[in-house]
Amino acid sequence: MKHIENNINNKEFQKGLFKNWINITKHIFFYSFVLIFIACSDFVEVDPPKNTLVSETVFEDISTVESALANVYYKMRENGMVSGNYGLGILMSSYSDELDYYNFSQDFLKIYNHDVIDTDNTALEWWSHAYNVIYAVNDIIKGVDNSSNLTSAEQEEFKGQALFVRAYMHSLLVALYGDVPYITTTNYLENNTVSRMPQSQIYDNIIADLSEAISLLDDTDNTGEKVIPNKSAAMALLARMYLYTENWELAEETSSEVISAFSLESDITKVFLKESPETIWQFKPNGISHSNTYEANWLIIRFIPGHSYAISNSLLNAFEPNDLRYDNWIGSTTSTDGLTTLQFAYKYKEIFSQTAALEYSIIFRLAEQFLIRAEARAHQGDNFGAQQDLNAIRNRAGLPDTTADATTDLLDAILQERYVELFTEQGHRWFDLKRTGKASEVLSTIKSNWKETNILFPIPANELELNLNLKPQNPGY
């Protein structure tokens, strides 16, 4: 184990010049969208009758549907839970035990210190953005279904993508907030009074949407860059949902199908390059303000003081000796006075570049599928198969085969492997602690404000005021 001593005095840090990044929306279900290409800036609010007219006319041409979907992916990349810019990979890594936060943004401090309340910007912004995206894809589904000019193949492709996005956004909402509405319509009157749905039913709806998406999509990658979700992306999410709902047999079956279609990148230094063979779906940087990833921009420490996040001692100590991931996916920076050295997440290594981006933000990759199958097999008593999958990830990292043999030990080893393999990626660590019931055990010792009710985020207070059917509030808020 590597024990890293942190001798930082917070009083020495310079205040970060954070801009106010939250633009609170008035009400998420009144939004429509402007159909322009991927350089578009945002959705706009329109009156419901006008939105109805748009939905009836705009999806008669393939280019307009492609533009609408491009706008959805643009918004997911730039803002909200999925983005590498203030998204799950950054903030929920500090909410769990992966990152320490050193700057002075009150919004981010509340996440790090488990002081989130129902009027906080982050809880509202993530909720509003997610349902904004869901509204947009529901509008696409409706328009594509009603189109008379699109071919059946085009309709299937576009609807499959939209169903996948709808399932994905709901999967994040239910994991963060618990019982939430599952929105499948653009009827603003219905959406304005919708009620929260039990989590089990939400997962049933997610699985149903993904199953339909898989039946509509194929495995082609027309972009050559894996930036448009296809059948494999939908199956990767479906395998994750089966894992979360403890349907071990289907989790194994679905992850096996994904594994058969991809290959692990054997070189640990190339896993996060845009050409990695194990990438299933990724976001291409916008090429304007950042020619590489938001993750690199936020996580790489250039100066001490002046940084925001550093790897926690808990995560550093989780690595075994000679783990190539420690050597290649964690960097370090020392202050000019030589007194302070901090480690940072270094999966993405390029911040700015004058040439084409070398890395894209990866949303799904194959290593997760091996670990899903390992866990599913262990729960079914196939310890040998679980060991094989676990060893595929360990051996790639330069580690020997696992010594875990008994099922309980093997499940602990898989959870530990997920920790050091998937750190700072899309909130995996937090969701793992939550779903395995280990959040209190792990976080109560390192988070002074930890409470059992922190397992869920609060429903935003203004949403409860707008729609009384969303009550009651989650416990503890």
Sorted by where each begins, the domain ranges of the chain are 40-470
Q: Give me the phi and psi of 364, to 5 degrees please.
A: -130, 135
CATH architecture of 40-470: Alpha Horseshoe (1.25)
Confirm if 79 and 43 have CB atoms less than 8 A apart.
no
**Confidence (pLDDT) at 354:** 64
127 burial (CB, 10 Å; 0-12 / 13-18 / 19+) is buried
Residues of the chain with pLDDT under 70: 1-58, 287-290, 353-354
Structure tokens at 449: 């404000």
Residues near 311 by beta carbon (within 8 Å), at least 6 away in sequence = 98, 99, 100, 330, 342, 343, 344, 345
**Confidence (pLDDT) at 239:** 99
pTM for this model (two decimals)? 0.89
Please write the tens of the pLDDT for every residue from 112-138.
999 999 999 999 999 999 999 999 999
**Confidence (pLDDT) at 292:** 87
Confirm if 420 and 371 have CB atoms less than 8 A apart.
no
79 burial (CB, 10 Å; 0-12 / 13-18 / 19+) is buried
**Confidence (pLDDT) at 352:** 76
**Confidence (pLDDT) at 42:** 34
**Confidence (pLDDT) at 176:** 98
